[in-house]
Amino acid sequence: MPDILEDADRHCAKTGARLTPLRRRVLELVARSGAPVKAYDLLSQIDRSSTSAKPPTVYRALDFLIEAGLVHRVEALNAFVACPQAGHGHAAVLYVCESCANVTEVQGARPGQENKPPGFTVKRSVIEHYGLCVDCPKP
Ligand SMILES: [Zn+2]
Ligand SMILES: [Zn+2]
């Protein structure tokens, strides 16, 4: 997944966000897994001997990546997926397979913007749809 990392570098250079080596490493692990990743899976994959990779640091790196629009949190699975389009700036629409936990992201319109309360500033939105993916047998 070199593209996701290159996109992330470009996106961060543009926005002035600082993609530290640990943040980059966390993003790389999420992107490479090809499936939603749990925080503890990330922790076990990151070199624990490194003092910069203590759990709180890894959670902060995830928070940064979510805030920067590079990673989305899949609430239903309490897991993380890399965004295929860094910082797309509108809602992420995720289709979550309840059978195999495969998650597909499609670029949505701007749901949530239309009916928002007056004066409310939307920073990020994630819409999750649940069902069965094309590879899973239908009941
Ligand atoms: Zn996205
Ligand atoms: Zn499936």
DSSP string over 62-118: HHHHHHTTSEEEETTTTEEEE-SSTT--S-EEEEEETTT--EEEEE---TTSTTPPT
Could you tell me the domains of the chain? 2-82 (1.10.10.10), 92-131 (no CATH)
- The rounded Å distance from CA 107 to ligand 1 centre is 7
Q: By the 8 A CB rule, do 81 and 94 touch?
A: yes
- The rounded Å distance from CA 94 to ligand 2 centre is 13
Ligand number, closest to the Cα atom of 96: 2
- The rounded Å distance from CA 131 to ligand 2 centre is 8
What is the layout of strands, in order, in the sheet containing 103-107? 103-107, 92-97, 126-131
Q: What is the pLDDT of residues 21-60, one digit of tens each?
A: 999 999 999 999 888 999 988 988 887 656 666 788 899 9
Q: What is the pTM of this model?
A: 0.84
